[in-house]
Amino acid sequence: MSDLLRHAWNIARKDLVIELRSRTAFVSTLVFTVLVLIVFNFGRDPTATAVLDLAPGILCVTFTFAAMLALNRAFQLELENQALEGLLLTPISRRSIYLGKLFANLAFVGLVEAVGLPLFVVFFNVPVGHVLPALAGLIALSTIGFVAVGTLFSAMVIRTRFAELMLPVLQLPFSIPPLVLAVLATAKLFTGRPLDESLGYLKLLAAYDIVFIGLSTLLFPATVEE
């Protein structure tokens, strides 16, 4: 078990170091996130719709799109110079490769969200100060499940035709439970309802995360074996 996590950590660190050196993917994803927020702002009539009605949806949809963009690059990285073959030849478990990729993706998406959230607050003038810890936890819960499935799928689609198109088509149905639950819970938070009322949503989100991390870890070896 400790080997599994240690190897996973090494893989994640490798990915993050590569990312840190160029920063292209991070900056592009961030710019994309900001642009989506801006586009959403012009997609509503401020005199007709209260921002609080739309804010939970805007936040969750933007982060879903950003995560999807980020996931495309996770295994794209390994296509260059047959790096994936090299990775598979190393004497480590396939599952730790998956977990490593998952950690790196989560760090990447989490960082984008950490910058995106304040911008969202500024753009849409939503008071989140008093619910920030709960909101952060909620976003984390909904991101984990989505990225867990996405990491698994991105390992498959890179070797298909039309990879960039295939990932959203396969993955968006899987974003529905996290998205719906996150929107419901965020709406409650924004309107000042106590956290207890969202407990059911949070439990279901956690269940989704656990089930799909487990399932993806189990299934990942099938996507890379030759």
Partner 1 sequence: MTLASRGRAVTVVALLLLVGVYIRALAFTPLERFQGAAQKIFYLHVPAAWSAMLAMGLVGLASVLYLLLKDPRFDRFAAASAEVGTAFCVVMLTTGPLWARPVWGTWWTWDARLTLTLFLFFLYIGYLLLRQAVADPGMRGRYSAVLGICGTVLLPFIHLSVYLFRTLHPQPIVLKPSAPSLPGVMLVTLLYSFGVFTLLYIGFVMQRYAVGEGDAHA
Residues of this chain that bind partner 1 (CB under 8 A): 149, 152-153, 156-157, 159-162, 166, 169-170, 172-174, 176-177, 180-181, 184, 200-201, 204, 207-208, 211-212, 215-216, 219, 222-223, 225
Burial class from Cβ neighbours inside 10 Å (0-12, 13-18, 19+) for residue 4 reads middle
> Residue 37 or residue 149: which is nearer to partner 1 going by CB?
149
The distance of closest approach from Cβ of residue 70 to partner 1 in the complex, given in angstroms and rounded to an integer, is 19
> Residue 16 or residue 187: which is nearer to partner 1 going by CB?
187
- Hey, CA dihedral for 148, 118, 51, 201, is it positive or negative? positive
The distance of closest approach from Cβ of residue 168 to partner 1 in the complex, given in angstroms and rounded to an integer, is 10
The distance of closest approach from Cβ of residue 118 to partner 1 in the complex, given in angstroms and rounded to an integer, is 28
The 8-class DSSP code of residue 224 comes to H
Scored b (16 or more CB within 10 A) or e, 166-184 reads bbbebbeebbebbbebbbb
CB-CB neighbours of 195 under 10 Å? 15
The 8-class DSSP code of residue 194 comes to -
> Residue 23 or residue 159: which is nearer to partner 1 going by CB?
159
The distance of closest approach from Cβ of residue 57 to partner 1 in the complex, given in angstroms and rounded to an integer, is 13
> Residue 116 or residue 150: which is nearer to partner 1 going by CB?
150
> Residue 25 or residue 71: which is nearer to partner 1 going by CB?
71
> Residue 59 or residue 157: which is nearer to partner 1 going by CB?
157
CB-CB neighbours of 211 under 10 Å? 12
Reduce the DSSP state of residue 164 to 3 states and report it.
helix
> Residue 107 or residue 206: which is nearer to partner 1 going by CB?
206
The distance of closest approach from Cβ of residue 115 to partner 1 in the complex, given in angstroms and rounded to an integer, is 28
223 neighbors 152 (Cβ within 8 angstroms):
yes
Structure tokens at 44: 């509503």
Strands (E) across the chain are located at none
The distance of closest approach from Cβ of residue 179 to partner 1 in the complex, given in angstroms and rounded to an integer, is 9
Candidates 220, 171, 177, 205; CA nearest to 70 is 171
For residues 97 and 91, what is the distance between their CA atoms, to the nearest angstrom? 11
The distance of closest approach from Cβ of residue 173 to partner 1 in the complex, given in angstroms and rounded to an integer, is 5
